[in-house]
Structure 1
Amino acid sequence: MTNSTLSKPLDRAETRVISAPRRSTALAILTGLWLIIFFSALFSPPLLDDADATHSNAARYMVQTGDLVTLHVNGVRYLEKAPLPYWLVAASFRVFGFNTFAAHLPQAIGVLLLALLGFRWASRAFDDRTAFYTGLGILTSAGVFLFTRVFIPEVLLTLFLCGALYCLLRALEAKPGQSAKYAYMMWALLALAVLTKGLVALVFFGGAGLVYLTLTGGHKRWGTLKPFTGTLLFLAIAAPWHILAGLRNTGGMNGHGFFWFYFVNEHFLRFLGKRYPKDYNKLPGYLFWSLHIVWLFPWSLFIPAAVVVAVKRWKSRAATLRDNLHTLNFKHQTTLLLALYSALVLVFFSISTNQEYYTFPAYLALLILIAAALVRAEDNYAEDKSSRRWITFAHAAFAVVGIGVSLTLAYGLWRSRHLPFVPDIGDLLAHRDVGDYTLSMSHLFDLTDASFAALRLPAALAAITFAVGPAIAWLLRSKRRHLAATTAIALTSTVFLVAAHIAFVRFGTMMSSENFAQKIQQLEAAHAISPDSEIMLYGDQAYGSSIPFYLGKMVYLVEGRSTSMLFGSTFPDAPHIFLTNRDLIDTWGHGPRKVLFVPLEKRDAVDQLLGNDKVLLLDNSGKALYTDRPLDH
């Protein structure tokens, strides 16, 4: 990292000439952070139940059958998702085998590519320091880390959409001989975005792009974007899968097939909150907006400074910009397009049904804007009191958060100081209303003194980090060493995310059922149960979706014809894996051996159903594995 240089001796109205790391150094730092935060986290914990293992099951089915068109989960058609993320994970499985590393590798690579895209875009539009800060923001934001712990497509969608937007700007500004390259790249990336998440990609790109072109007069250069041949390229990439999926998946519920379920049900009815079956919630408005402070933390602390900078720039140049929107330079073009795009994403999901991670596609745009405003505020730190005030506010807030987290963790460590370490934290959690949880990491609210003892290492690491990091960053800022201060914030977040991953691993036995699959495999290897035993899961498959993944075979679902399994089960060729309570009672103890996995939420129901007529094989994290007769030996 290059040293800051002095133009002349400092006084109260002067500041250092702030440098940026050399490009090679900056890229090396960003790559190192990615290796520490994301690549090292690919090996544990095991695949989690619900979406993580469910989606991994779909990719595994592709490898086992070679069917790259129709997704299947536990042998049942799974028609609600676009295929590209599953193709990528299937290719990873081919190379690395069926494991956590292979399942999450495409997402981790997506994060690295997203950081590099942000670096390149910000470098061209603003400067190298903004590019460096953008990369730091992507790699150390809480939301990017949290929402890439499971197999969901948001990071890939963000990469393709933002890549397409960048190519849009480059095509409009490039010389005639070079614009075609960026135009075709734009159409190709947009097609990949559609294959990643569906029609919402067209809504975000088209909405932001059309408004931008209208405001700036870019529609007059529409031909530069190759609308005819580009559309053909888009269709050549995006259309074949949709057509084949529609032709191969007909005759489902009420005569509906892929086209109705995927386009009408999963897009329009989901937006309106009328999707069938209704299994999605909508966050209250105050949570939807305020939680972005958490998802973009610690960089969200600089949003007030970004707003102040934006307002000042608008007031000073409003008349000029209004009169010259058609001649904006690349910096102002970037600012306008990213503002339109991020606003569209946020407003869209504030209206529709949503989950916390749905606004992930706006993260890169917001972080570039925050980084650009932070750099400008740093440059004006000495002479602009409002910039200095809001940067100081951000550091004060960071320090308050750090002190609060440190004291809370220190209190927990003190209370659990005499308690023994128990590796299975799931057996120690309070489990208050677990079925009602809808927020990520909600189980942290269940922590007791005994369970806190299992988190001593990550808790101590996080406590020390938050006690020291914000103070160092503030001290560096007060000395006007801005690059070092901002980097210190990123490093503080890096250590905290490492501690968070260690804690995440400790929660692994609670959030994954891999150990139950291992128990079944061990019993089969020891000939205690037959390989032909019927493996059953009580309730929705999401409760134990990691079991069929690690076993590599279908399981029966008792009272589990619901949510993602419901529509696929209505096709004539659906496997006969759906059982009722009556079916379970009638076959329990008869015919092939039954091995039944019961999630915590269904323990009481199964106890009432089977009573004492069951043999316990494993009890872990509140979940149980039963069989209907004594073991063979």
Structure 2
Amino acid sequence: MMKDTLLETIAEPEAALATYNPRRSTALLVLVGLWLIIFFAALFSPPLLDDADATHANAARHMALSGDLVTLRVNGIRYLEKAPLPYWLGALSFRLFGFNTFAAHLPQAIGVLLLALLGYHWAFRAFNARAAFYAGVATLTTVGVFLFTRYYIPEVLLSLFLCIALYCLLQCLPPSADAEKRAVISTGAQRSGEIPAFLSPTAYAYVMWIVLALAVLTKGLVALIFFSGAAILYLVLSGEYKNWRNLRPFTGILLFLLIAAPWHILAGLRNTGGMNGHGFFWFYFINEHFLRFLGRRYPMDYNKLPSSLFWSLHLVWLFPWSLFCGALIHQAYTAFQSYRASNPAPTDEARTFYWQPYAIVFVGLILQNALKIPYLFTVFAALVLFLIHGLRRRQSNSPSGTPLLRVNTLAQRSTLLLSLFASLVLTFFSLSTNQEYYTFPAYLAIILLLAVALSNAEQTFHFDSASRRWITVAHATFTVLGVAIAITLIYGLWNSRHLPFVPDIGDVLAHRGVGNYTLSMSGIFDLTGPSFAALRLPAALAAIAFLTGPAIAWFLRSQRRHLASTVTVALTATTFFIAAHIAFARFAPMLSSRSFADTIQQLEANHSIAPDTEVLLYGDQSYGSSIAFYLGRQIYLVNGRSSSMLFGGTFPDAPPIFLTSQDLLTVWGHGDRKLLFVPMEKREIVDQLLGSKKILLFESSGKALFTDRPVDNSGKPKDPETATLSLNQRLTRQDTP
């Protein structure tokens, strides 16, 4: 029978796989086991990293200690650029488990597990048990999910809330009886995955508004843009906008505001009188949302990846499951061909419209450099116009009231909504300023589509040459990459076989600064022979995984043992992630400054220095944010009124923690002992500033801890007259005539 819609082929169920599908209890046990191995076990090391990781943990720590759940503060300075929910969860975790690495990252790890379970449940209901298992496994064994949950950032929570909201959107808009009847006729049987809904449509509608409010409290207004954009497009294309009352918009919006609005209002009322009279409302809504999107945010301490790199990196972030994107593209193309065949020839009006996509591409290429329009965005816009052209063809030859896309089953509706959502997220951040992890919310949508495509390709593997070809290409590519990676690792192991193990890997890195370390894997370019010697165990483990895993998976696939083959791909990724985590922990001295905090605490415990000795940090607080977290006290910043400390430092009640180079020279060697932490990037500047007037206490990965006088066991200051005065009081007294 001819397919009715563009999505029919992709959404086709796989009845032949039912016999070989893992039972639901077994599948869930496997998912929880993978999560424990990959994510839970990684919660204890390495320590919190400098920059965003420890900065955000400091904000949550302040909430846990102060009880102020409205205003975020870092090192005593207002930190107004972030939504509060991730820090509420972090503060709760700190209150339960103490101020440690485990507690800081636990909410994110739980978010990953819930995201995988959501993917499993959604695919189980909409598609089939095999696709559900693949969706859950792929979520846990995808490079991007693993990599971007090593840090205290809110993307995984945002993805979880948005995907729950999308799922609830479908559940509160159940298809009509006629649509269900047409679906049964077209497929021949009721889909096995379409089990009864857990909640009523009304309950799903209110859950949708609740989690949407939580998404806004997690990341801001961008959550509304992603959800409402995808939802509106879906409702229009599917024709389900006629059932808008099922969304409970009036009472739902009221519930949304009751949850999301109070914090925004209180934050605005409590944070006024900053730079140029601006307060929270300007900084959070205008500066952090609109000006950031336009690339005019203040301060300009961010980057934008080139569009080609931004898009192509998703092959890495979704690896190894991105290898099967060929099967997804093939099934989408087949569905498109069936869709075109089911539509009559275009009308004259449609023919007139047909040239416009080509014009878009032509004009976009001309204006690409002048207007900085991403090339791939131009191509995407043309593809959208082609789709609109096809829809207009269909609508012009259909009865009045026929939706643009006929989606009857939950599988078809899910495919449409997931495709729209993923496309919207990717397109939005190709235009906005971005970092490589910003598109994290689209990962689950893409993974679900890949899981369905893979399970469908397995179903048709024995009689469809195209499906067989694309799966074979995926395994061939995986095997070639695996061999290449294994050879590279073995070569490094062989060359470093006689080199000694160096615990502080940062001391032997090249420090080339590729990409200014804004890319998540820039540090890999710094590896040298001596540094590789510190990575023998993870390198050997990864080499074994890549040398054997892809080959075994390919062999099992050739034997048509599809489930075993796909599980082998997942186990290969799991082994690699274990090796990557070990390597990540070996990089801790370079990425974290906890050892400096430990050194200070040890000196204070041994009475070599006085308790609560004043600690100064040269540069932005992000250079040593982990020191403030593990010391649990405020530190002074020399020339550090920048980046995240800039706007909050302009409020009248900001603590006087900012010093200039002249202030440092004024207090250095006078009054109480001072400790100065200097990041590698500032060593040369500090050497020129202080010269020989400093004593090195500790050094690691190019970072140094200096003091202004010899260490003794008394911990008494050299100048008893000013012993009771704080650093800023001494500065004030010296400035007074």
Give TM class, smaller chain: over 0.9
When normalised by structure 1's length, the TM-score is 0.96
Which residue pairs with 2:415 in the alignment?
A: 335
Give the drift of 1:444: 1.2
Alignment of 1:179 with 2:201, yes or no, is: yes
| Residue in structure 2 matched with residue 511 of structure 1 by the alignment | 591
Q: Superposition pairs for residues 182-581 of structure 1, below 5 Å? A: 182-317=204-339, 319=342, 325-433=405-513, 436-581=516-661
1:131 equivalent to 2:132? Answer: yes
Shift of residue 434, structure 1, vs aligned partner? 6.4
State percent identity of aligned pairs.
Answer: 69
Q: Distance in 2 between matches of 1:233 and 1:310?
A: 39
Provide Cα deviations, 1:120-169, integer angstroms capped at 9, x if missing partner.
Answer: 00111100000000011100000000000000000000000000000000
Q: Unpaired segments of 5 or more residues in structure 1?
A: 1-14
**TM-aligned CA deviation for residue 18 of structure 1:** 6.2
In structure 2, the partner of 1:95 is 96
Residue deviations 1:244-303, cap 9 Å, x none?
A: 000000000000000000000000000000000001100011110110000000000111
Partner of 1:8: none
Offset from partner CA, 1:306-349 (integer Å, 9 cap, x none): 01011112322454895663552110000000000000000000
Aligned to 1:4: none
Taking a change above 3 Å as real, the CA distance of residues 42 and 260 of structure 1, as seen in their structure-2 partners, is: same
Q: Distance in 2 between matches of 1:350 and 1:462?
A: 33
Other-structure match for 1:12: none
Counterpart CA distance in 2 for 1:141 and 1:211 is 28
Flag the 1:147–1:519 CA change in 2: closer, same or farther, 3 A: same
AA of the residue aligned to 2:338: S
Give the drift of 1:534.
Answer: 1.3
Q: 1:441: how far off?
A: 2.2
| Cα RMSD, aligned residues only | 1.5
Structure 1 range deviating more: 453-462 or 314-323: 314-323
Counterpart code for 1:32:
G
Residue 422 of structure 1: CA displacement? Answer: 1.5
Is 2:234 the counterpart of 1:154?
A: no
Give 3-state SS (helix, strand or coil) of 1:617's partner: strand
1:93–1:99: 8 Å Cα contact kept in structure 2? yes
Contact preservation (8 Å) 1:310, 1:373: no
**1:76-123 CA distances to partner (integer Å, 9 max, x unpaired)?**
000000000000010000000000000000000000000000000011
Question: Is structure 2 residue 144 aligned with structure 1 residue 64?
Answer: no
Contact 2:60–2:87 (Cα < 8 Å) also in 1 = yes
The one-letter amino acid of 1:137's match is A
Corresponding residue for 2:349? none
Could you tell me which residue of structure 1 aligns to residue 724 of structure 2? none
Cα distance change on mapping 1:16 and 1:112 into 2, 3 Å: closer
Q: Which residue identity lines up with residue 58 of structure 2 in the other structure?
A: N
Q: Which runs of 5+ in 2 are unaligned?
A: 1-15, 177-196, 344-390, 395-401, 714-737
Any idea what SS the aligned residue of 1:595 has? strand
TM-score for both structures, normalised by structure 2: 0.83
Q: What is the distance in 2 between the residues matched to 1:465 and 1:150?
A: 25
- Paired residue secondary structure (1:545): helix
AA matched with 2:117: L
Quote the offset at 1:16 in angstroms: 8.1
Aligned amino acid, residue 116 of structure 2: A
Stretch of structure 1 that moved more, 315-324 or 503-512: 315-324
1:6-17 aligned at under 5 Å gives the runs none
Question: What is the rounded CA distance, in whole Å, between the counterparts of 2:537 and 2:19 in structure 1?
Answer: 37
Aligned residues: 619
The letter for the 2-side match of 1:469 is G
Q: Which has the larger radius of gyration?
A: 2
Would the alpha carbon gap of residues 434 and 301 (structure 1) be closer, same or farther in structure 2, given more than 3 Å must change?
A: closer
1:116 aligned residue: 117
CA deviations on 1:2-23 (whole Å, 9 max, x unpaired) are xxxxxxxxxxxxx987621111
